Amino acid sequence: MQNETIFYIIIAGITALLLALFQYIYKSKLKSKIRYVLITLRTMAILGILLLLINPKFESKTYYDEKPTLVVAVDNSESISYLKQNEQVNTVLQAIEANTDLSERFNIQKYSFGKVVNSLDSLNFAERQSNISDALKQFGEVYANQTAPIVVLSDGNQTYGSDYSYISKSIKQPIYPVVLGDSTLYADLSIKQLNVNRYVYLKNKFPVEIITNYSGTEAITTELKIWNGNSVVYRTTIQFDAVKTSEIISTTLIANSVGVKTYRVELSPLSNEKNTVNNSKNFGVEVIDQKTNIALVSEQLHPDLGALKKSIESNEQRSVTILKPKDYLSKINDFQLVILYQPNSSFNEVLTEIKDQKLNTFIITGASTDYEFINNTNLKVLWSISNQTEEFQPELNRNYNTFIIDDITFEDYPPLKSEFGGFNFLVPADVILYKTVNGINTEDAMLATYAFDNMKHCVLVGEGIWRWRAQAYLESESFNDFDNFMGKLVQYLSSTKKRNRISIDYKSFYNGNDDVIISAQYFNKNFEFDNAAALTINLKNKENNSIREVPLLLNNGNYRVDLSGIASGAYDFTIKHNTESIAASGSFEVLEYNVEQQFLNADINKLNALAENSSGKAFYSTEYNALISNLLQDNRYATIQKSSKNIVPLIDWKYLLGLIALSLFAEWFIRKYNGLI
């Protein structure tokens, strides 16, 4: 409490006493001893009122003990059960839970992880992928301001994410890996990696690259075969020894017919090989008979051009050629879509040909765009010309329904630069992105699609889209989200298909560990998105004719169903409305592959590196008593006494108001009882 406040309290006390004395000594003729009681009550009441006006603040300190947190994370992936470590995991967990000393010293928090992290309720060892690095990163963020050693029960075999042995340096918590699995080395052949394009073209040869590995000391010879159905389309002999433990096989196969084609790569097993599951791997390609050629027409050099080309060509079905306007005119018949980047008067002949041939366009504007020229091109769009530029950020229109948008929100995307003000469409248009300035939606379109005279058009307001692709990578360490969005936009613009009331989005085939997700949108008779529809998918396995019916759930403006975990094989599906005779059909194939069954041993080297880099220690699953002793004896995990300081104003003390009221009531009662009022 400050000295000034103490001074005010003393003055208040003296003032209250003087007023009480004036009332009952100087002014009153009361001579009995009861006047001293009345003086006391009046002094208390006045002092209480004055204290409320001064409102002094009091500090209070409370002390408490904070125990360190012990994070116990269990690998819940299929490789644990495949290596027969289920019972050992339960034994270690029971030992940790049953140790009273450990419970007294730590707040124990238990988690399970596969591809994502969950609270540990139960273990089924059914996760199809394991991401140890992401789990450790999340624990590091959640417990960044605490003392929280991390015990990780895992075989160390990661199938998804970045290398976890190095991420420990950024976590700032000691990590104690508990090694699950056999440490004995056996002779083993495996297909480490297989590289092939997802799409190939009819009658073309496509490359296949296979990386094979050998673990062993003896010289061996094996044969590698590539099967297409029951036919061997490629075979070669490979030799390994203690020095030569890896070989890359490159070959080409020919695509003879259109559709999804599946292949199986197989290494002939050794006579004493313990794990033969990792000797084979399936892969698929989709054979298509043509490629979508896209012209990117621009008069200037800009980073956006490279970003657009890389984004669109991330799908092998599409090819982008960057051209000057006059060069495009001589090759106009070679392209199914034209992107006009910051058009000006030099695009005059290009736009004339586009209108004459009724071609689809994607117009991107910026600071160098001639907006008056665009207004005169009869593209059904009118710009407000101000000759001033502004920067604005995007906001996704969740009600956009021309094609399915998912996995991207644009929330933290950097601003684009373009003309100040908005533009108007002379025909109906669908807005994908709105312009926002300082977080305020201007209701002006930033990205929109529209159609007229059997032509499809799209307009993007703003240059600097290369920053968006970079932002997508910063958020997810992958360009996929942005590239998929651009791919769907280009697919819509280059397609000549009529719009259906149920539109579906899916892949023609899925690898064994991919998430099998199918999205759909349903529109009413006016082609307005209906978020109250009841959609169901009928899934039929072509091999055994079994049928499965699953409802689709509304998620971020799309109806989605997650079929991950279904058996490998070929499937037909139909998505239908439950009360209307409207449906859409498709087919896909799930390739047989279980990445969690590719391991024969625990990855002891990486787990040891993880422990060493984080100042922890690795233990085998049978050494759980040593782990518990190490945690209990480590002085870094002592209980810390902390204090919290609370500053409480007197006006919050409700008892003072009660004391004032009680004093005034008692004074009135005594005076009334003695006939003084």
Are residue 319 and residue 440 in the same domain, yes or no? yes
Mean pLDDT computed over every residue of the chain: 87
In the structure encoding, which two tokens stand for residue 630, read together?
A: 């190490």
Are residue 529 and residue 478 in the same domain, yes or no? no
Question: Which of 494, 518, 553 lies at the terminal end of a domain, its last residue?
Answer: 494
Q: Which whole number is the average pLDDT over 430-435?
A: 91
Contact 189, 225 (CB under 8 A): no
Are residue 101 and residue 142 in the same domain, yes or no? yes
Asked whether the predicted pLDDT for residue 1 surpasses 70, the reply is no
Asked whether the predicted pLDDT for residue 557 surpasses 80, the reply is no
Q: Is 311 exposed, middle or buried (0-12, 13-18, 19+ CB in 10 A)?
A: buried
Q: Is residue 486 classed as helix, strand or coil in its secondary structure?
A: helix
Asked whether the predicted pLDDT for residue 517 surpasses 80, the reply is yes
- The 10 Å Cβ neighbour count of residue 439 is 7
Are residue 486 and residue 370 in the same domain, yes or no? yes
Kindly report the pTM of this predicted structure: 0.62
Are residue 316 and residue 269 in the same domain, yes or no? no
Q: What digits encode the pLDDT tens for the residues 541-550?
A: 998 899 999 9
Lowest mean pLDDT among 300-314, 495-509, 609-623: 495-509
Measured between alpha carbons, how far is 437 from 5 in angstroms, rounded to an integer? 48
Are residue 476 and residue 576 in the same domain, yes or no? no
Are residue 304 and residue 215 in the same domain, yes or no? no
Q: CATH number, domain at 383? A: 3.40.50.880
pLDDT of residue 555: 83
**Close Cβ partners of 107 (under 8 Å, ≥ 6 residues apart):** 67, 68, 69, 70
Q: How far is CA 397 from the centre of its chain?
A: 20
Asked whether the predicted pLDDT for residue 499 surpasses 70, the reply is no
Measured between alpha carbons, how far is 208 from 250 in angstroms, rounded to an integer? 6
Report percent pLDDT > 70 for the chain: 98
Asked whether the predicted pLDDT for residue 23 surpasses 70, the reply is yes
Angle, CA of 157, 161 and 164, to the nearest 5°: 60
What separation in angstroms does the CA of 55 have from each of 8, 82, 652?
10, 69, 9
Measured between alpha carbons, how far is 173 from 472 in angstroms, rounded to an integer? 29
Are residue 345 and residue 460 in the same domain, yes or no? yes
> Which residue, 157, 97, 211, 1, is CA-closest to 598?
157
Which single residue is written with the structure tokens 């329904």?
A: 401
Question: Which of 288, 318, 337 lies at the terminal end of a domain, its last residue?
Answer: 288
Are residue 322 and residue 360 in the same domain, yes or no? yes
Domain holding 86, by residue range, is 68-183+601-638
Q: CATH number, domain at 556? A: 2.60.40.1930
**Strands in 467-578 per DSSP E:** 502-505, 509-510, 517-522, 535-541, 547-551, 553-555, 558-562, 569-577
Number of domains in the chain: 5
Asked whether the predicted pLDDT for residue 325 surpasses 90, the reply is yes
Handedness of CA 395, 396, 398, 399 (dihedral sign): positive
In the structure encoding, which two tokens stand for residue 163, read together?
A: 């290398």
Confidence of residue 96 (pLDDT cuts 50, 70, 90): very high
pLDDT of residue 426: 87
Asked whether the predicted pLDDT for residue 537 surpasses 80, the reply is yes
Measured between alpha carbons, how far is 14 from 476 in angstroms, rounded to an integer? 69
Question: Which of 221, 255, 288 lies at the terminal end of a domain, its last residue?
Answer: 288
**Strands in 170-258 per DSSP E:** 175-179, 188-196, 199-201, 205-215, 220-228, 231-240, 246-254
Asked whether the predicted pLDDT for residue 29 surpasses 70, the reply is no
Q: What digits encode the pLDDT tens for the residues 260-278?
A: 899 999 999 998 888 888 8
Asked whether the predicted pLDDT for residue 561 surpasses 90, the reply is yes
Are residue 79 and residue 117 in the same domain, yes or no? yes
Are residue 87 and residue 10 in the same domain, yes or no? no
> Which residue, 439, 396, 436, 392, is CA-closest to 416?
392
Are residue 72 and residue 124 in the same domain, yes or no? yes
Contact 644, 650 (CB under 8 A): no
pLDDT of residue 105: 92
